[in-house]
Amino acid sequence: MDQLLYPLRGALLGLAALTHVSANPIAPAASNGAQRLVEAYPAFLERVDGNDVVWRDGTRMPFEVGRTPASYVERLDHADLADQMSVPYPSLAPITPPAWNVDPGRMRFEPLFEKMYGASSGEVQRNLVGVAWFGQTLLFSKVNGADRALALVAADVAKQPELLAFVRPSAGTFVWRTIAGSSRRSTHAYGIAIDVNTRVSDYWRWSGAKEGARGLTYRNRVPLALVRIFERHGFVWGGRWYHYDTMHFEYRPELAAPHAN
């Protein structure tokens, strides 16, 4: 019998996951998102079956939990896979201020990342390798080729010296931590995120705003040329979020890969 082998976060999400019926198909509007997810992580994910994303080891994860609509903050805290794939990421597009609470890629189903990259600091660190980054050696996960993607970013940036001031020094990659002001785990904890030079970056929390508040004034100094280099190699950028974090890039090929553009 197939079993759900991943840790569950939140009572509502856990109950729904344990009692889901895999025969119920994913809603047509969400089916493309489920398929993109499988295509992005072929080493781990095998297929979509009913409402389940099926892993190569037989693990099944429900794509849609089917809970009642919740507030934006509650969705952030208890996202399912459908939430994760629900907001299209505008890869390679011009930079424009995002609409209220439009944060493509910011909702994440944590059990997916824990199972792929590690559910503890020790598990994650076993998969970290050094990547040369303009005078620094940055630790990045080798899982899903994330380290190779970051190395390709570095190679492309090196061809455009005018971009170097924005990427060095890097403010860091792997740190086992939660996101500031939340209980959600940062993608830095999985070794798949990099913060570039903070001196030329902007972050919504520096304004003193609260999560989900209307009227954030968008700020950005990172050039589109750099953003597009990262995006071409499967990274999403925090500057495309209403809750902007322009120093932040994370490896998310299910959203930023060429087939998602």
Domain of 169: which CATH number?
Answer: 3.30.1380
Do 255 and 177 share a domain, yes or no?
A: yes
Residues 81 and 32 in one domain: yes
Summarize the confidence of residues 198-210 as an average pLDDT.
Answer: 93
127 & 247 share domain:
yes
Mark whether 56 and 183 lie in a shared domain.
no
**What's the pTM value of the predicted model, to 2 decimals?**
0.88
- Domain annotation covers residue 100: no
Interval 72-97: pLDDT, tens: 888 898 899 999 999 999 999 999 99
Q: Are residues 158 and 244 in the same domain?
A: yes
pLDDT of residue 6: 38
Which residue, 2, 38, 35, 7, is CA-closest to 20? 2
Q: Are residues 149 and 70 in the same domain?
A: no
Q: Looking at the domain assignment, is residue 49 inside a domain?
A: yes
Is residue 1 a part of any domain in this protein? no
Please indicate, yes or no, whether residues 152 and 201 belong to a single structural domain of this protein. yes
Mean pLDDT of 197-212: 92
105-149 pLDDT, tens digit each: 999 999 999 999 999 999 999 999 999 999 999 999 999 999 999
49 and 174 in a single domain? The answer is: no
Residues 82 and 25 in one domain: yes
Residue 99 has pLDDT above 80, yes or no: yes
Percent residues over pLDDT 90 in the chain: 75
pLDDT at 259 over 50: no
Alpha helices in the chain (DSSP H): 11-19, 28-40, 72-77, 81-84, 110-117, 121-125, 146-158, 164-167, 224-232, 253-256
Q: Which structural domain, as residue segments, surrounds residue 24? A: 11-86
Look at residue 27 and tell me if it is in a domain.
yes
What number is the average pLDDT over the span 162-188?
A: 93
pLDDT digits (tens, 9 = 90+) for 17-43: 433 444 466 665 567 899 999 999 999
pLDDT at 69: 64
In a domain, 95, yes or no: no
Give residue 137's Cα distance to chain centre: 22
**Residue 219 located in a structural domain:** yes
Q: Are residues 157 and 199 in the same domain?
A: yes
Indicate whether 102 belongs to any domain.
no
What's the total number of domains in the chain?
Answer: 2
Residue 240 has what pLDDT? 98
Considering the chain, what is the average pLDDT of its residues? 88
What pLDDT was estimated at residue 56? 97
Higher pLDDT, 212 or 176: 176
The reply to whether 75 and 156 lie within a common domain is no
**Within a domain: residue 3?**
no
| Cα 36 from Cα 157, distance rounded (Å) | 27
Same domain, 76 and 120: no
